[in-house]
Amino acid sequence: MPEPGTKARIYLVDDHPLVLSGLANLIREQPDMSVVGEADDAQKAMEGFKATSPDIALVDISLKGMDGLELIKHAKARFPSLAILVLSMHDESLYAERAIRAGAGGYIMKQEAAEKVVVAVRRILDGETYLSDKMYSHLARRMAGGAERGGISPLRQLSDRELEIFNLMGNGRRIKEIAENLGISTKTVETHCAHLRKKLNLKGSVELMQFAIRWHHSRQS
């Protein structure tokens, strides 16, 4: 947190030079902010953090080489007081949740107006969290279910049967296959899917399948 009268020290991490210069330019227009360094990969970013001790880092979630999420975790481990605002290309609320959990103070899409980046930076430097309205409501929907039972994964709320079906879905099986495989009615499988959607706060079958596939994919590598 910068002292009154001094400028916030900002570090930029992005592997797109155009975005980098856009950000740098935007920040130089702000009287209370200054850019103290730039990096285009995670390695250089970590060195830069050590050398310049910035107040906040703006980091792209999709870097070449190390993943942006990894960089966040490492950075928060070595520099706990460093605030982080995540920039993302895509409207992937999945990443927003992971980013916040990894220690980021905010998540903003590059489609957002440039002014919002400045707003987000100020908010985070004030110790608050910044999320876009869309993501905020999306996340709120998820949290709303039962106020953070300390469980890292919402999958803990699932019953054994539900998890079993969730797994089979992630494996690419269709409803009929699952029903035959388990020796039950397709209607029962549908009911389980409905419960899964409700518990995981997912809107449609496509979101559920997306979630299942991603989860299955990450659990297997």
> Of a second copy, DNA, none, which one does residue 98 interact with (CB within 5 to 8 Å by kind)?
none
Integer angstrom CA distances of residue 22 from 16, 28, 92, 196: 10, 10, 22, 42
- Residue 92 vs 190, nearer CB to DNA: 190
- Closest CB 12 distance from DNA, rounded Å: 26
DSSP 81-105: T-EEEEEESS--HHHHHHHHHTT-S
Q: Name the strand (E) or helix (H) holding 43.
A: helix 42-52
33: partner contacted, choices a second copy, DNA, none (Cβ within 5-8 A by kind): none
Q: How far is the CB of 161 from DNA (least distance, A)?
A: 3
Among DNA, a second copy, none, partner that 16 touches (CB below 5 to 8 angstroms by kind): a second copy
Q: In this structure, which amino acid lies at residue 179?
A: A
- Contact of residue 119 among DNA, a second copy, none (CB under 5-8 Å per partner type): none
Q: Which does 77 bind (CB under 5 to 8 A by kind): DNA, a second copy, none?
A: none
CB closer to DNA, 171 vs 191: 191
Under the binding rule (CB under 7 A), the answer on residue 98 touching DNA is no
Q: How far is the CB of 81 from a second copy (least distance, A)?
A: 26
Interaction partner, residue 51 (a second copy, DNA, none; CB < 5-8 Å by kind): none
- Tell me the three state secondary structure of residue 133: helix
13 Cα distance to chain centroid: 16
End-to-end Cα, the chain, rounded Å: 39
Instruction: Give the C-alpha distances (Å, rounded to integers) separating 219 from 152, 205, 213.
Output: 15, 21, 10
Instruction: Confirm if 140 and 181 have CB atoms less than 8 A apart.
Output: no
How near is the Cβ of 212 to a second copy at its closest, in Å?
A: 10
Residue 30: half-sphere exposure toward Cβ, Cα within 13 Å: 21
Site residues for DNA, 164-203, by CB under 7 A, read 174-176, 182, 184-188, 190-194, 197, 203
Cα-trace Rg, the chain: 21
Cα atoms in the Cβ-side hemisphere of radius 13 Å centred on 163? 8
* Footprint on this chain of a second copy (rule: CB under 8 A): 15-23, 25-26, 62, 64, 67, 87, 89-90, 110-114, 117, 172-174, 204, 206-207, 209-210, 213-214, 217, 220-221
Residues that bind DNA (CB under 7 A): 157, 159-162, 174-176, 182, 184-188, 190-194, 197, 203-206, 208
